[in-house]
Structure formats: structure tokens, C-alpha cells
């Protein structure tokens, strides 16, 4: 496979072609699914094309990994069994017991659980800070011990915005690294490596896969040395993406650009509707001029995404009622698929943060706006709001 970069081609071309040359034997334009665990070797110590065992390497996964690197503007991409598997591998590659990480004070619930219930027992310390406040991030640093700033932007589910370039500069000032979870934006709307991040994290389950039919995760890096370290741990720890999952994710990536355009179009219409509704106390969306992170988002994102959160004027019970009354918006966890989803984060995706400093507001509703006919989505929200 030939290396393709953003210097050579546009985003949609990379999404369709990077890592996906026609099969040399048959001419198939879609990469084959190499559903195999092991490979015949030409001689002892001479594996054919370097393939020995599919935990260590698989051609379908390699195609996905090359595509991921290309669309994020990185030098190496790695595909995992889930987003949390990617996160865990990153932490255990770049951190050691006794190290310290700064995380968002509104991090994804699964990420918070990984730090507070798993990594902490391994000896990794962490501090939650508002990443849109550089002074607060600097105050949270422990020089000589802080190894990583862990950022989400936009965050899940409060859609706060962090300045990637500023955080990267701060991390590097202390000889630390910046990792950015780019799941909500997708590489179509934001490319953190070009803004100073060292590592990009994805739940490929979401916008990259795009069809709610596959679970996966990814890491993308600009430095080949770090990529080699991560690849060693990926193989040693073993939470790799299977070949069929990799193939499904590649298929989803091909249409990422056109899907994201529709996600954004629909989200903007919905934000306009919710902003004027009397039963909505406030709308959280970085595309709004009133959003505190709007200027930063406009600087580092091409558009503002398909995720929308809002707070119900009637409090927790009304928020739950809205979720239960929705019909076209499916009541479900996850996000980023072609179908619209609605959830109550406090009792669903972020239940693990309940009772902590990262607990989300009880009146919060989160929407993953799909690509359906927007008038149908608006009508469903109208009836759900009552």
C-alpha cells in the first residue's frame, strides 16, 4: 500500500483511497476481509510480507490503520477493539506508576471510570481541571510527575471547548504530552495533530464507523517513535480490532465527509429550534455565539458537529420525560450513527461519574443528531417537549 498524506490529496479522497489500493491478485476495489488467525510462512523466521499472527498484524486492520493515519494527518494509526482499549493502551505506554495526568473536569464517563477505578489502582494519579482555563490547568500540573494532558474537545456531554494549540504548548513546556479525544469532532471537522497534539484518540464506534454496527477504537500519532512504542504495547496487550470490524469501519470512513456535512446541517437547525423553546433552559452547542468556547471552536474546527445538549427548564423529571417521549430519536447510548439518538447522561453514559466532581447536571439531555430529514426530527422534538 502506498503512503498517502494530506499534502497529496483532499480529505474525501484520503477517506476513500488511503490504505485501500485495489487487491493486486484479483483487482477487487474493496480491501478483502482477511478472516484468519495465522499465516503460512515461507521458511522458519521468514513470514510472508511480515504476517505471522493476526494479533500482531492483519492486512485488513493494516488498511484501516493506514487510512486513519492519513485522515488525521498522522504518521501512524493503530486500531483497537474499543475506544477504551485504545485509551488503556495509551496510558500504559506513556505513563508509569507514580505519574500524573490532568483530565477534563467533564470527561466522558467511561474515561473517568478508567482513571478512577482502574489506572488509579495501578498507581497512576490524576487531577480533573477545566481545560478551557489555562491557569487552572497549569495549577494542576505537578512538574516532574505530570506526563500527560488528556483533553476532549468538544467534551462529552457538556460540549466544552479546549484550545488544542495552547494546551499543547503548556504540556510541552513541562516535557509532557497532549492527547486529544477527537471522537465528537471527527477528523473531518478537526485535526488535533496539526494543532500541536501528540496523540489523537477515537472511539471509531461513533462517527468514523457511522452506522451503529461496529465497536472499535484508534490512536493516531505524528511521531513514528511513539507509534512504534504504542504498536509494541498493542501487540503485547492484545486488544486489537478484528478484521471484520476493521472492514466495517473502513466502509464507514468512506462516507464520513458527506455524513458530517448533514449531521452539522441538521444540528444547526435543531439548535435554532431548541434555543427558542420555552421548555429549554439553555442549549449547549459550540456553534452558538453565546457559547464560551465559540471563538476557540471556530478557530480549530471547520464546523461545529452533530452533538447537541440542552438543559430542561423543568429539571430532572422533565429531562427524563423528554427522553422517554421521543419516538424518532432513539433512546440509546452511543452517538455518531446515521440515526438520531437521545439520552439522559446522568443515568446512562455518565452514571459512573455520579457523586463525583464530574457528575453531570440532572436536567441534561444529550442528542446525537443523525442524517434523517430534519423536519421529521424537529417534529419529534416538538412532541417530546410537549
Catalytic residue among 62, 132, 163, 181, which?
181
Catalytic residue among 55, 254, 262, 269, which?
55
327 is annotated as an active-site residue: no
108 is annotated as an active-site residue: yes
- DSSP letter at 7 equals T
By CB atoms closer than 10 A (0-12, 13-18, 19+), residue 201 is: buried
Catalytic residue among 39, 51, 108, 285, which?
108
Catalytic residue among 75, 113, 147, 206, which?
206
> Would the CA dihedral through 287, 290, 293, 296 be positive or negative?
positive
CA separation for the pair 233, 229 (Å, rounded):
6
206 is annotated as an active-site residue: yes
Question: What Å distances lie between residue 208 and 125, 258, 373, CA to CA?
Answer: 31, 12, 21
> Would the CA dihedral through 348, 354, 356, 358 be positive or negative?
positive
Edge-to-edge strands, sheet with 364-368? 280-284, 307-312, 364-368, 341-343, 330-331
- Of the chain, the end-to-end C-alpha distance in Å amounts to 55
CA quadruple 97, 100, 104, 107: dihedral, nearest 10:
10
23 is annotated as an active-site residue: no
> Closest Cα partner for 19 from 250, 259, 186, 194?
250
The residues annotated with a catalytic role in the active site are 55, 108, 181, 206
Amino acid at each position: 500500500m502506498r503512503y498517502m498524506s494530506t499534502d497529496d490529496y483532499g480529505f474525501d479522497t484520503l477517506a476513500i483511497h488511503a490504505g485501500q489500493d485495489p487487491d493486486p491478485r484479483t483487482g477487487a476495489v474493496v480491501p478483502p476481509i482477511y478472516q484468519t488467525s495465522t499465516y503460512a510462512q515461507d521458511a522458519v523466521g521468514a513470514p510472508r510480507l511480515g504476517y505471522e499472527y493476526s494479533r500482531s498484524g492483519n492486512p485488513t486492520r493494516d488498511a484501516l490503520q493506514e487510512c486513519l493515519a492519513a485522515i488525521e494527518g498522522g504518521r501512524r494509526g493503530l486500531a483497537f477493539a474499543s475506544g477504551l482499549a485504545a485509551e488503556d493502551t495509551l496510558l500504559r505506554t506513556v505513563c508509569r506508576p507514580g505519574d500524573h495526568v490532568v483530565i477534563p473536569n467533564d470527561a466522558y464517563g467511561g474515561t473517568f471510570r478508567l482513571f478512577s477505578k482502574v489506572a488509579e489502582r495501578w498507581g497512576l494519579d490524576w487531577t480533573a481541571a477545566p481545560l478551557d482555563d489555562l491557569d487552572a490547568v497549569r495549577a494542576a500540573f505537578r512538574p516532574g510527575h505530570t506526563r500527560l494532558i488528556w483533553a476532549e474537545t468538544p467534551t462529552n456531554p457538556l460540549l466544552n471547548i479546549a484550545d488544542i494549540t495552547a494546551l499543547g504548548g503548556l504540556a510541552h513546556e513541562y516535557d509532557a504530552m497532549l492527547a486529544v479525544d477527537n471522537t465528537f469532532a471527527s477528523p473531518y471537522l478537526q485535526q488535533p495533530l496539526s494543532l500541536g497534539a501528540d496523540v489523537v484518540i477515537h472511539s471509531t464506534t461513533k462517527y468514523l464507523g457511522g452506522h451503529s454496527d461496529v465497536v472499535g477504537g484508534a490512536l493516531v500519532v505524528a511521531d513514528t517513535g511513539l507509534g512504534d512504542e504504542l504498536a509494541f504495547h498493542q501487540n503485547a496487550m492484545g486488544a486489537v480490532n478484528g478484521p471484520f470490524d476493521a472492514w466495517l469501519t473502513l466502509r464507514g470512513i468512506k462516507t464520513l465527509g458527506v455524513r458530517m456535512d448533514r449531521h452539522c446541517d441538521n444540528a444547526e437547525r435543531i439548535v435554532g429550534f431548541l434555543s427558542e423553546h420555552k421548555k429549554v433552559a439553555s442549549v449547549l452547542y459550540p456553534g452558538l455565539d453565546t457559547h464560551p468556547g465559540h471563538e476557540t471552536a471556530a478557530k480549530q474546527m471547520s464546523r461545529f458537529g452533530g452533538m447537541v445538549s440542552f438543559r430542561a427548564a423543568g429539571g430532572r423529571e422533565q429531562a427524563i420525560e423528554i427522553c422517554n417521549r421521543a419516538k424518532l430519536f432513539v433512546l440509546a447510548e452511543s452517538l455518531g450513527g446515521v440515526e438520531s439518538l437521545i439520552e439522559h447522561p446522568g443515568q446512562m453514559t455518565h452514571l459512573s461519574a455520579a457523586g463525583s466532581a464530574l457528575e453531570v447536571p440532572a436536567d441534561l439531555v444529550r442528542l446525537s443528531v443523525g442524517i434523517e430529514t430534519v423536519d421529521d426530527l424537529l417534529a419529534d422534538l416538538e412532541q417530546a417537549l410537549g
